[in-house]
Each structure stands twice: as structure tokens, then as C-alpha cells.
A and B are shown apart, each in its own frame.
Chain A
Amino acid sequence: MSDQGRRGEQGREREQEQGERQGRRYDQARYVSNGHYEPLLSEKDSTRVDVGDDSPLPDDLTRDSLEFPELSEPELARHYTRLSQMIYGIDSGPYPLGSCTMKYNPKFTEDVAALDAAAVHPDRSAGSIQGTLELCYRLQDYLARIGGMDAVTLQPPAGAAGEFVGIRVASAYHEHNGDDQRDEVIVPESAHGTNFATASLGGYDVVTLPSDDGGRVDLEALEAALSERTAALMLTNPNTLGLFERNITEIAEMVHDVGGLLYYDGANLNALLGRARPGDMGFDVMHYNVHKTFATPHGGGGPGAGPVGVVDELAPFLPEPRVRLRERERGDEGESEGDGEDESEYELFAPEHSIGHVHGFQGNWLVLVKAFAYIARLGDEGLLDASAKAVLNANYLASQIDYEVPYGPFHHEFVASAGDQDAADVARRMLDFGVHPPTTKWPEIVPQALMTEPTEVESKETLDTLAKAFQQAAASSDDELESAPNRTAVGRIDQTSAARNPRLSWQALEDTDSGEDSA
């Protein structure tokens, strides 16, 4: 065993002792048997099928063979159950990832999305899927009200896809107006990485905007950045430091004065539900991260959904298809809550100057169903309370930790600084205390950033447990920080070798080593 390995073992023993003193933890399970973890499927017996046998096609149109493991249902049930036992989810414990809004996801939304009626083919005639279209229409309406927008498309399959639609819509709008010289998109330095990548993918030069001393948009820098070349400013409000852009009205005016559009990144909408609306602040286009704000499970990295809302002026450019009530029924667009049986007919249509499709079919439909059910469950009262408790929780947790928290006042998230400690080490150390750590090293405005968003679903007791983990990490020695984590399924992972010598499939693993488990 290597020196590092020995240190790991010692660390593990130390953690066991400390664990008994600490009290509540939210550890993941870790399936392990005789020192071995669950093998790869490929490490079980594999079967090679000769495709040419009994083939209804000529040999030259088929592959020769296909090979991978062939397991029974019980074997697979155990394989995946064991894998699931080596994952930390929001159902395992708190997940305070700043800007990622990992809240608890109610279980009933899974059931409504699993209804057989949700499983329709996207090429069905509108007349035969009135229920599906009605749900789309009502969700469009809910989102428009919540965002203060005039029109909504549900098609984008994720937040970043929504950003892309927003940028494409802005681009089509400017082009329609003969404004061809607009080739820049302004993005604050604290923005999500997707904003920069999206603007670039849309063909724009990215102008990075510095923050002022208080962590907000620097109005002088904005003035200097704006010109007749500005297509849009992409802004998150509250921003990624959790700060509300108090000068939002002036910012909107400045952007509009040069003919640019104001884009709202919906990642932090959870902080504003029922208290402020992007449309009222002067934003022209926004995306909603319905999987974050409206609590649909993150599924280990998707699927999400990123509907886009726009003001009337931009509605003709939205992607197709959108859903509307058939012409003759118009004039009665208000939601008829509880009306039940009405004879309205929903239909798909392409807006007049539509940018076309941004997904092969209709986006991530099951995620939209869950978002709809969640909003219908909470209603005005629940949405208002969600933002209240999200903001209360962030402020309370920030007040209970030992790390310095620059800037303020916060809304739903705050960014602490690990100071002399390495934020990534702090995160791994927090895993030893049985909680999921915050987002680290971002935004870069705060050195060794620990970006924390507890969300509204955590109780005071859980927040106190989190605070204690922060305190213990702050009090940890260099050695403890550098050897962490010690209570997880595996110890600290060598990221450098993973990148230098990429082995991205079991085939690559067989090529480079004998597949021996060195544990």
C-alpha cells in the first residue's frame, strides 16, 4: 500500500472517532464487499452475438457481431441498486450548491409524469392530444405570470438551451430591424459560464463587465461597454453573489437607450418568486430553469427544461411550435381556474418570424409536466413562501459560519471565502462531516469562494448541522484538509491522471491495463 493509502486508512479511523462525537450526518451509503466495489458490467461474463445468424438482411448491410454482458433481471437489479447506494442525493441530505438550487423534489410529480397519457408521440394530431396541449398552454400562462412576460416557449431542453434561444431571438429581432452592426453581448464577470459560451455560440463577441466594489454591476463600466454594437446584456438578478442589482431600472434604461436588449438568466429566480418579476424590471427576454425553481429532480445532471419568456415585441421571433387557443376562442385567454369542461381547442403554430426549431421535437416534456404540477400545488401562497424561506435560510446560515462572507445583503445564496484554505479542500473536508459541500471557487470575485444556497426546504436543525460542518472545516489542520475526504465511497481522486491519460470506456480500460482491482 502506498504512503498516501496508509494516510487514508489512518484518516478513516480518525474520522470514525470524530463521527461518534459529532451527531447527525447525512452520509451516502457505500456499498462495499470484501474490499471490492460493484464491478463494471464488462467485468461480468460477456456474450458475443454473431449478427449474421438468421439475419433478414444481406451480410454487407449488417455489422459482424455485438458484444457486451448479458445479465438476468435480478443481477441487474442488484447492480444498479448497489450503484445507487454510492450516490448522495437531495433525499440523502442537504445539497447547498450555490446557483444550482438543489431543493427537495416532491414525490407526487414523479407519478403525474409517469401517467400513460404523458407518453404520446410528438407527431400526433393536435385534435387527438388536447390534454397535452392544454397542459402546455397552462404552463406557458403560469410562467408568463410568474416572470411578468407576455409570451413563453416551452421548447428549450435546458437552461443553457434557453439562453441560446434568447440570444437567437435577440439576433433575429435585430436582423429584422436592419440592425446588422450589433455584434457584441455584454456579460458581467460574475455570470454563469454558460452565458459566455452561449453568446459565443450565437456568433457574438463577448464583452466582460467588471463588478463594482459592492459586487454589483459597475454603472460606469456598463456605460463604457454599451454602444450601437450592443445586441444584449445578459444579467442574473439577484446576481451570483446573491445580491440584488438595485440599479436595475437604470441598467435597463441604459441598455434600451442604445437599442440593446436585456436578458434575464433565470437561475436565481427562486429568490424572487412573488416579490419581483423580471418583466417589471425591464427585462425583454428571460429563461426559466423550471427544474431548479420549480423543483423537478436534477437526475444526476439532467434532463432539465429552459422555457423562454419574452415581451410582446419579441414574441414573433420565438421558436416553433408554440401552443395557442384556436382563433375563434380568442379573447378569453385568462385562465379559467376550476372551470373544468370547456370546449376550447388548442393548436400548434409557428410565430410570424420564428427562428424555427431549437429541439428535434417538443423539448423535455416530462420535466415540464413536473413543473406544472409543482406550480399548481404551491399556488401564489406557496411560491411566495418559497422565496421567503429561501432568503431566510441563506441569511441565517451565513450568520452561523466562521468563514468571512464579503458583500451583502444576500438573497437566496451567499459566497463565503475560505481565506487561506483551498476551497476545493474545504469541500472535500465537508464530505467527512456528512453533508454535501457548497459550490467552490466561483464566482472568482471572491477568493477561494464557497458559494452556498441552502434553499427553502432545509429546516433550522439541518442548517445548524451544515453550519457546524462549515465550522469544523474552518478549524481543520492543513493535513486534515489535504487528506480529505475519508468517509466517502472512495478517497481523494487523482484528477490529473484522469485528464492526462483519458480512459473513457471499458474498452479503453482493457487496452491500458489488465482490469485488476488494486484495492
Chain B
Amino acid sequence: MNGTRTTGSPYAPHTDDDTAAMLEAVGADSVDDLFDIPSAVWFDDEFGIDARTEREARQLVRQTFERNDDLVELLGRGHYGYYVPSLVDHLADRSEFLTSYTQYQPEVSQGFLQALFEYQSLLVELTGLEIANCSMYDAATALGEAATLADRVRDTSGHRVLVPDLLLEGRRSTLENYVAGTDLEVETYPTDDSTVDVEALTDTIDEEVVLCYVENPTVRGTIEERLAEIGDLAHEHDALYVLGSDPVALSLLQRPADVGADVVVGDASVLGLPTSYGMGLGLFATRESYLRQVPGRLVGVSEDATDRRAFTLTLQTREQHIRRERATSNICTNQAWVALRTAMHAASLGPTGLVDLAKRDVTRAKEFAARIDDLDGTTAPVDDRHHLREFVVHVDQPARVIANDLEERGFAVHVVGEHELQVCVAGVSDEQLDAFVEAFTEVLR
């Protein structure tokens, strides 16, 4: 080591002697001389951000988070807090995974490429469709990408995108932003008992429809019962049939390929991530016939010079860094590390564990609804359907007041109507559900 380390960024390793030698090599007197910034825009002020030691920075974040209340979350509606095994944290946090870049040099990225290939394969098994990409940002942006795909692949010049009236505001709004640059318009079709009103859909669908979107389960936790019929309806009108789901639901519910789905989108972070204030992982699977129009990255198999199997990013001519304004999408940085975590979580459950998890969610939701229905002043579930992991509760008193009371007792629930709450069992323990029923009983009194 020559000389002392320069102060400033704790991650810049230069010593004073190094800096002097490097300046001499480039023929500059000072580092400031290397900046070619006109004086008119030179920033001579300060940001006013204090530097901290690592310990102080950690304390700052910890203390800030201490202002959060510690609540049992019976929350779902598109985002779920399943327990993530420690295995996932420890392996995904291995620094080669965490600190590598997009696999543009495949020869030194084989491990990550294989993990992403396995992620794609898992989605192919879950959806029954032939291809899956290795991630979009989340369910909402994946739906937006499905709409622009429909705009590219559909022969006729329709402009209608049909979505259920129950669609989450965040998803619908994101979709509208994605299609803002096209002629597409987003319209809703009605639901009945929180599932698709197929008769009403039949009345509204026509040749102008390019995409028909259905979620299974719905945002209110109900399971769709006429998916194949809806698929036929969409295809009769040459519309793309897009199904929204997630890996836990897909391991139990009807396989999208079997009901005619052309694209499956949704949030795959249901496995692999804690709730993380809404951070997601957009899954995107589709038919092989749309391969050249698919957004996002794809990992494929090839051979190296010695005929060994090797993985590589492929079909990059669809992507923005090559195709520019004619690219299938502008996505570049995606959610690769989350996809890795999701694959790890799914692999750790295995097919038995995954199917059991989904089945338990159906059973637990049903039993929990029955317990709530037994209380005075409630009806549950509101919708007379099968449910996966969540359902709506009618409360005679104002829902907002009840939810506030529950929060004071340590439980978070959704308010979805003046007299409607929604609760979710995913990631909540049996003991916590017992405690909730007790608190709910007191609140209703």
C-alpha cells in the first residue's frame, strides 16, 4: 500500500500516492481539471446530506422502520406474504448471483442462465404454454405488454381491450399507460358473484376486441368456472385470450393451455419474495407462434465450441438494445434476481409442496369463512363461489370503522366496500387466525 487512503467515498480504494500517480499519467494537476463542465452549470453548492458511518446508516434505516406498526396482515388482493424459506435468502444472496450483470457474456454467466432457463421451464410446466420469458416487472406491466403484443399480432384493426370491472386500479391504470401510445382502448365487462358474467361478455364482445383478459382467481379470491367457454368466445372473435394468475394458483387450478389461453401474465413473486411493499415479478408465458413478438429476455440452449451444452440469451433482435424503436418492448433491466428466488422457492416446495400449499389455501379459506360467518353481524363469504386464499366479508356496521378497530387490535384487513371487508389466509398462521376471530368478535360487539 502506497500512502494513506483518500477520504470521501468509503468504497473508492485510492491512496493519495495512487491518485497522484494517476493524475500524472493523464497529465492533470487535479481531479477537478478532468471535468469538462462549463462554469455556468458547475454546481458549487452542497446537497446538505450528512455522511454517516455504516453503523449509523443502519441505525437510521432501522429507527425509521421502527415507526411502522407491527400488524398481522390478512391482506392479499394481488400481493401475498407466503413464508419464504431461509434457503432462498442464503443461496440467492450468494454474491455471484447478486452482483452479476445481465448475461451478455454468456461464457461467464452459465450458472445464472441455467437458473433462468429453469425458471422459464417451471412456467412452461405451470401454464402448459410453450414459451415463457425470464421476467417482466410485475403483473400490471406484464398485462400492459400483453396488450401491446395483441396490437402487433392481431390481423384486423380492432381497438378494444376488455378487462373485468373488478380489475385492481393499479393494474388497470398501468395497462392504460401502456396502451396510451396505441389506438387501443381499455373497456370493462361486468362480473356476477365476482366471476365473469359470461352472458354479458357475450353481448359486448365483437370483432373490434383484440384482447380479452380474465383473472383466476379473481381479486376477490373467487375461482372462475367457465374459463374454456370464455376462451372459445374470445377466439371466435379473433381476440387474444389473456389469463392472469400466479404460480401457487396455477399449480392447482385449470391449466391455462387447457382452456385456450394465448398468454398468461401475473405476479410470480408470490413465491420467493416477502411482501416488500409491493415489489413484484411479472410472469409472461405464451404460444410458440408469438415467439418473435414476445417482449423481454429469453434464455435458450446452444452448444459451445467443444459441443458442450451451453446457455445463452437468445433472439435478442427483438430487444431494445438492437431493434431500438422497432423493439417488442422497452424493457431492459428486468427482475432476474427475483425470478431466481421464485425458481428456488418453487424448487424447494417441489410439485407436492406446491399443490399442497394451494389446496391448503382453498381449505383454510373455506373454514375461516365459516368461522367468520358464525359471528353476529357478518356474512362470509359474500360470493357463493369456490375461493382460493381470500374472500369478502359483509359487515352490518360501517367497514371502515371495523377495519380501524381491528388495526388497533393488531390486524390489517382490506376495506372493499361500505359494508365489505376482504381477508386473506396466505402466509397467516392458524394461531394468528384464531386471534383474529377473537379480536373480530370483540370489535363486532
Kindly provide the distance from the CB of A49 to the nearest chain B CB, expressed in whole angstroms.
Answer: 4
Tell me the total A-B contact number using a CB cutoff of 8 A.
Answer: 680
The 8 A CB mask of B310-323 against A (1 = contact, 0 = none) is 10101101011111
Are A381 and B109 CB-contacts (below 8 A) given A5-B305, A66-B351? no
Inside 8 A of B114's CB, which chain A residues have their CB?
Answer: 38, 40, 83, 86
- In the docked arrangement, what's the CA distance between A491 and B77, Å? 47
The yes or no answer to A308 lying at the interface (CB within 8 A) is: no
Inside 8 A of A2's CB, which chain B residues have their CB?
Answer: 306-307
- In the docked arrangement, what's the CA distance between A68 and B349, Å? 11
Are A301 and B8 CB-contacts (below 8 A) given A69-B347, A86-B110, A203-B180? no
- In the docked arrangement, what's the CA distance between A13 and B75, Å? 59
Whether the pair B181, A202 counts as a contact (CB closer than 8 A) is yes
Interface size class of A (residues with CB under 8 A): 35 or more
B residues 244-266 near A (Cβ < 8 Å) are: 250-255, 258
The yes or no answer to A105 lying at the interface (CB within 8 A) is: yes
Whether the pair A493, B303 counts as a contact (CB closer than 8 A) is yes
Inside 8 A of B182's CB, which chain A residues have their CB?
Answer: 203
The yes or no answer to A477 lying at the interface (CB within 8 A) is: no
The yes or no answer to A356 lying at the interface (CB within 8 A) is: yes
The yes or no answer to A108 lying at the interface (CB within 8 A) is: yes
A residues 334-380 near B (Cβ < 8 Å) are: 335, 337-338, 340, 355-367, 369, 372-373, 375-380
Whether the pair A123, B108 counts as a contact (CB closer than 8 A) is no
The 8 A CB mask of A456-500 against B (1 = contact, 0 = none) is 111110010000000000000000000101001111111101110
Looking across the interface, which residue of chain B has its beta carbon closest to that of A428? B107
The yes or no answer to B291 lying at the interface (CB within 8 A) is: yes
The yes or no answer to A218 lying at the interface (CB within 8 A) is: no
The yes or no answer to A1 lying at the interface (CB within 8 A) is: yes
B residues 63-108 near A (Cβ < 8 Å) are: 63-69, 71, 73, 75, 77-79, 81, 85, 87, 89-108
Whether the pair A300, B77 counts as a contact (CB closer than 8 A) is no
Whether the pair B322, A48 counts as a contact (CB closer than 8 A) is no
Whether the pair B320, A196 counts as a contact (CB closer than 8 A) is yes
Looking across the interface, which residue of chain B has its beta carbon closest to that of A4? B305
Whether the pair A90, B99 counts as a contact (CB closer than 8 A) is yes
- In the docked arrangement, what's the CA distance between A368 and B215, Å? 30
Are A61 and B386 CB-contacts (below 8 A) given A495-B314, A505-B121? yes
Whether the pair B307, A171 counts as a contact (CB closer than 8 A) is no
Looking across the interface, which residue of chain A has its beta carbon closest to that of B2? A460
Are A274 and B96 CB-contacts (below 8 A) given A130-B68, A376-B57? no
The yes or no answer to B383 lying at the interface (CB within 8 A) is: no
Whether the pair B280, A361 counts as a contact (CB closer than 8 A) is yes
Whether the pair B108, A248 counts as a contact (CB closer than 8 A) is no
- In the docked arrangement, what's the CA distance between A120 and B66, Å? 12
Which stretch (A96-104, A219-227, A255-263) binds chain B? A96-104
Whether the pair B65, A117 counts as a contact (CB closer than 8 A) is yes
The 8 A CB mask of B102-132 against A (1 = contact, 0 = none) is 1111111111101111101110111000111
Inside 8 A of B94's CB, which chain A residues have their CB?
Answer: 80-81, 84
The yes or no answer to A318 lying at the interface (CB within 8 A) is: no
Looking across the interface, which residue of chain B has its beta carbon closest to that of A518? B307
Whether the pair A203, B181 counts as a contact (CB closer than 8 A) is yes
B180 in complex: contacting residue of A171, A367, A384, CB < 8 Å: A171
Whether the pair A51, B252 counts as a contact (CB closer than 8 A) is yes
Inside 8 A of A442's CB, which chain B residues have their CB?
Answer: 321
Are A115 and B61 CB-contacts (below 8 A) given A157-B138, A489-B107? yes
The yes or no answer to A73 lying at the interface (CB within 8 A) is: yes
Whether the pair B25, A87 counts as a contact (CB closer than 8 A) is no
Which stretch (B27-35, B156-164, B232-240, B434-442) binds chain A? B27-35
Are A134 and B67 CB-contacts (below 8 A) given A301-B101, A499-B314? yes
Whether the pair B306, A4 counts as a contact (CB closer than 8 A) is yes
Whether the pair B279, A364 counts as a contact (CB closer than 8 A) is yes
The yes or no answer to A328 lying at the interface (CB within 8 A) is: no
Inside 8 A of A79's CB, which chain B residues have their CB?
Answer: 347
Kindly provide the distance from the CB of A168 to the nearest chain B CB, expressed in whole angstroms.
Answer: 6
Are A378 and B308 CB-contacts (below 8 A) given A61-B225, A68-B351, A198-B330? no
Inside 8 A of B433's CB, which chain A residues have their CB?
Answer: none
Whether the pair B26, A281 counts as a contact (CB closer than 8 A) is no
The yes or no answer to B352 lying at the interface (CB within 8 A) is: yes
Which stretch (A17-25, A395-403, A415-423) binds chain B? A395-403
Whether the pair A392, B31 counts as a contact (CB closer than 8 A) is yes
Whether the pair A83, B37 counts as a contact (CB closer than 8 A) is no
Looking across the interface, which residue of chain B has its beta carbon closest to that of A66? B351
Whether the pair A80, B117 counts as a contact (CB closer than 8 A) is no
The yes or no answer to A33 lying at the interface (CB within 8 A) is: no
Whether the pair A377, B57 counts as a contact (CB closer than 8 A) is yes
Inside 8 A of A84's CB, which chain B residues have their CB?
Answer: 91, 94, 96-97, 111
Whether the pair B275, A121 counts as a contact (CB closer than 8 A) is yes
Whether the pair A373, B57 counts as a contact (CB closer than 8 A) is yes
A388 in complex: contacting residue of B8, B57, B104, B250, CB < 8 Å: B8
Inside 8 A of A124's CB, which chain B residues have their CB?
Answer: 71, 73, 75, 412
Looking across the interface, which residue of chain A has its beta carbon closest to that of B278? A361
A505 in complex: contacting residue of B48, B132, B176, B178, CB < 8 Å: B132
Inside 8 A of A200's CB, which chain B residues have their CB?
Answer: 181, 325-327, 330
Whether the pair A281, B107 counts as a contact (CB closer than 8 A) is no
Whether the pair A504, B111 counts as a contact (CB closer than 8 A) is no
B347 in complex: contacting residue of A5, A71, A302, CB < 8 Å: A71
The yes or no answer to A445 lying at the interface (CB within 8 A) is: no
Inside 8 A of A114's CB, which chain B residues have their CB?
Answer: 89
Q: Could you say which of B43, B225, B251, B340 has the most chain A C-beta atoms within 10 Å of its C-beta? A: B43
Inside 8 A of B299's CB, which chain A residues have their CB?
Answer: 504
The yes or no answer to B290 lying at the interface (CB within 8 A) is: no
Which stretch (B355-363, B370-378, B391-399) binds chain A? B355-363
Looking across the interface, which residue of chain B has its beta carbon closest to that of A439? B104
Inside 8 A of B202's CB, which chain A residues have their CB?
Answer: none
Are A95 and B38 CB-contacts (below 8 A) given A197-B327, A200-B181, A274-B43? no
- In the docked arrangement, what's the CA distance between A135 and B120, Å? 35
Whether the pair B36, A300 counts as a contact (CB closer than 8 A) is no
Given contacts A87-B108, A361-B277, 19 further A-B contacts (CB under 8 A): A49-B352, A85-B111, A86-B110, A91-B95, A119-B276, A157-B137, A206-B325, A277-B41, A356-B173, A356-B174, A357-B170, A359-B280, A361-B280, A364-B335, A428-B105, A457-B11, A459-B18, A490-B310, A499-B300
Task: Jot down 29 A-B pairs with beta carbons below 8 A, ordered by A.
Answer: A47-B350, A57-B252, A61-B254, A62-B254, A68-B351, A76-B87, A89-B96, A106-B54, A117-B66, A117-B68, A122-B278, A124-B412, A132-B68, A135-B64, A201-B181, A276-B42, A277-B41, A357-B170, A360-B278, A377-B54, A377-B57, A379-B52, A380-B51, A382-B10, A398-B26, A411-B34, A463-B22, A490-B106, A519-B306
